[in-house]
Structure 1
């Protein structure tokens, strides 16, 4: 029987603007200090595990991670046995030779997270990456480059940005959100103490918002640390190469320059 999360269904996280019925005008986004920011930043494994717990207990009933394989959770510090046990909580289409249309089976590590259960619930696999350029001219992400703000800050700010104000439009209840900058059709999913963290961390509203935002950043950029390492290595190599080329150029052309300087005037 498929495992369901009642709380998830009641308070689905609808982060995409496409699910909103009222467009925002651009609100306040908090510049949270995530460990993975900057050229030398790296993921906080404990935070990612807490974010996975928030996703599992709050978000997964409606929202999917269809581009994330279960086996990738080993990067979060889980063992193969723990990943297998976790994957069995989800069901995926059974494509076996004896399977009938519509049959499902418990997931295994090589499977991917299921997609979203609701048509208006966006998949969260690339959400943090998609929102990374939410400010700056023409979505260029200039503010992210200069201020270190990106999709994770936006997601955390939205989750913690509800004012409690509501309004009804065309029979639909809309909820005001400071980070979104207006009203949209996403009821408040996090309230504080929604989960009991396995590591004993106090599950405040902002803590949960930052943890799940960090997890979604990892889901969108699982190889972020490797890319940073490769980038820093390339920059250092190019810098060293530039110095060597400059010195080589000076050495090769020094005799020619010296002859020109000592040549008799005509």
Structure 2
């Protein structure tokens, strides 16, 4: 099984590789082609130092200075593998606008690990598995597709995941699967409404302001209510799904699939 173990968490101040900006514009989608390996916290710490010295001048401390790209969030113009990143850093690109960098093997592995783990040298371990197997888990025994919509396919009763890779880091996605109560965003908390006529409606919020709330219910009805007209409006802190019971390898593969969901940039 092709997989990478990362450590993920908060952001680190970091410095130049227009290198990475160039590759982000490559239209080709490459298959993952690397052997199993583990990115330790020491490797990622090395990468943070390399980034500070070589990359941050162009990409910024947070990886987001290049338009439509955010290295820390994994936001690229196309899906890019570790091998792609290594090759572009090593060879350079853009008719000399990005020079080749002669990094040691340790430095090269470190910078890739640092980018892949969201710019954090000391977060929690995350294993990312095979995207194709993850898609099978998503549509099969994981039962994710019974609630979530992807690329126009599936129900709307849970958040659309078509571009989830731009919105969540690997660690955040893993926590959503394994410890959903700790990662539930307020807007996605289940709600229960009782109308003036006594109808009880359960669903999730799409929009809310001081006076009104818009929800989508289990039947995919889009409903808007004035809060003052409701008998009851309760927001639950309990997620709609329990921690996954999938084996670790299935969780890793599912993460691999979720991290491939980049909307129109796929």
TM-score (norm 2): 0.34
**Which structure has the larger Rg?**
1
TM-score (norm 1): 0.34
> Which one scores higher on RCO, CA 8 angstroms, separation ≥ 6?
1
User: Is the helix fraction higher in 1 or 2?
Assistant: 1
User: Is the strand fraction higher in 1 or 2?
Assistant: 2
